[in-house]
A and B are shown apart, each in its own frame.
Chain A
């Protein structure tokens, strides 16, 4: 299986701050890849550098075989990916339908806007202006804007932050659906249950460095022993425990 994304020794510095300090990972085509980490660990910087919003200070990146640090190749990448940023780009007075159609017009091979709006559960809000949507609805709209690109890779930066449990689970279904359609998903999150449920592979990043890699199961098995109780294998730990063990318990920013 090919890798949709390959990252080797990627670095991004802000003055003295090493926001991303030499990370390596690859994302398999058609998989859901998660990047976990506390606030300020470098997740958003990584995404923004990968999609060419920021220049790198070292390292190589390949997205679908293209180099995002070359202007001409970046143009090709933009046609083939969908991106949901943490601050969604929403014109306040356009309706849901208008804004999804607008984004659809940017891409050569976009999905039908109605389909996408339905998938993110905003069909009964399609004629409402963005200004009247709740925070959770805006979030789902932002995900819809990434999806309508019909991109081969979809980047989702903390797609479920601030959503209530129902909306989160609905969005999980949407993400799993993307995978079923052969789309590669790169997502960042700090919800462990989300990563555990969705991700095929993940990395945990802290202070700009990757401190753990693997599938959720591998990570749990590697960091916590199994206990045998009456021949039944019971894990004593969840991915959340792995995360806290590795990144510490103090509150970040």
Chain B
């Protein structure tokens, strides 16, 4: 135990003083968070520039202006038709509303007034939404003028935070954590290869130090680093990007430890077959990159083509990502929690078994 403590402290110092390792394990995931955080922070805050051409002033005109200006996402501009049309074709307007003069006599006779909406046909989707919103606004104005009672009340309620099905920053963040854990784990194998290459494993082999002590302290450091990563990633997500953690922290910690151990074991298994640090690094990369992009940690698995799905279903990162997402932020799960944990445990046990069989100290 005394030896383990000394070995652990020595290993920890070695780890912390390695600036490149710290970059990979802490700075790299944080950079990912900021990149994705910035991409998604624009969502929902979109502002539409609406041009209004209205060459008269009376009760009706002010009623229309007030209604349109009260929409929070509308930025209203007034001008003549020529100016507004050119603004639309320059991309400075999302839509232009041309309103002909309306007077009381017209209204009393029940004569309909034609209102023209000009929009940019290259942006069909948001234009369609805008058209229905504006129609709705004019219906409302009409109702007020005619005094018809409102028969239906539609109340909207957002339940996004509790049950996320859509794809946004809350979806991404647990994925970034899963990616960070994968890297931390797989790099454990590389660290061992480098110790071996430097003759450190061999040199320690002639001392009374049991060599498993060295490995044990290495693994413990990685598990601790995994928890540090988790803390940093969640902390930044919560303080800077409004991340809402809905899950139980103890549950999250248990998952993080299981995930870290699975990938540490996978890393050690891979390097059991490597002859040099260089070949080990290539083998790790071959495993790491496909996992990163096929596991659904950055985009939902459902959008991927069917022929790639067997691969997706085979890789452990898929399950760690899914488990972390449903536990941390309550994303609708792809798999049940039981499946996720069973698959991760199976990976851990199988890779551990193969590692023990093919392990080489020298």
Contacts and interface: CB of A to CB of B under 8 A. Distances in A.
Contact of B200 (A52, A53, A75, A91): A91
Interface centre among B201, B206, B207 (most CB of A within 10 A): B206
Contact of A93 (B13, B201, B207): B13
Given A94-B10, A105-B6, A53 B199 contact: no
A13 interface: no
A93 B195 CA distance: 12
A103 interface: yes
Contacts of B204: 89
A129 B10 CA distance: 12
A85 B10 contact: no
Interface centre among A85, A91, A108 (most CB of B within 10 A): A91
B202 A87 contact: yes
Given A102-B6, A105-B6, A89 B13 contact: no
A116 to B, nearest CB: 15
B2 interface: yes
Contacts of A87: 198-199, 202-203
A88 B10 CA distance: 17
Contacts of B206: 51-53, 78, 81, 83, 85
Nearest to A131: B17
A98 interface: yes
B3 A91 contact: no
Contact of B7 (A51, A53, A102): A102
A205 to B, nearest CB: 21
A106 B207 contact: yes
Interface in A37-81: 51-53, 75, 78-79, 81
Interface in B202-245: 202-209
A102 B10 contact: yes
A83 B209 CA distance: 13
Nearest to B207: A106
- What's the dominant secondary structure at chain B's contact region? helix
Interface in B175-210: 198-209
B306 interface: no
A191 interface: no
Given A94-B14, A98-B10, A129-B17, A78 B207 contact: yes
B201 to A, nearest CB: 8
A90 interface: yes
Nearest to A91: B14
Given A99-B10, A106-B208, A53 B202 contact: yes
Given A75-B208, A106-B209, A93 B18 contact: yes
A149 B204 CA distance: 12
B14 A88 contact: no
A203 B204 CA distance: 28
A155 B67 CA distance: 92
B194 to A, nearest CB: 9
A83 B199 CA distance: 13
A92 B21 CA distance: 14
Contacts of A172: none
A90 B207 CA distance: 13
B200 A89 contact: yes
Interface centre among B199, B203, B209 (most CB of A within 10 A): B203
Interface centre among B10, B14, B207 (most CB of A within 10 A): B207
Given A90-B203, A92-B14, 15 more contacts: A75-B208, A78-B206, A81-B206, A83-B207, A85-B203, A91-B10, A91-B14, A91-B200, A93-B13, A94-B14, A98-B10, A101-B6, A102-B6, A103-B207, A106-B6
Interface of A: 51-53, 75, 78-79, 81, 83, 85, 87-94, 98-99, 101-103, 105-108, 129, 145, 149
Report, nearest first, the 5 A-B pairs whose CB atoms are least far apart. A89-B203, A87-B199, A105-B6, A93-B17, A83-B206
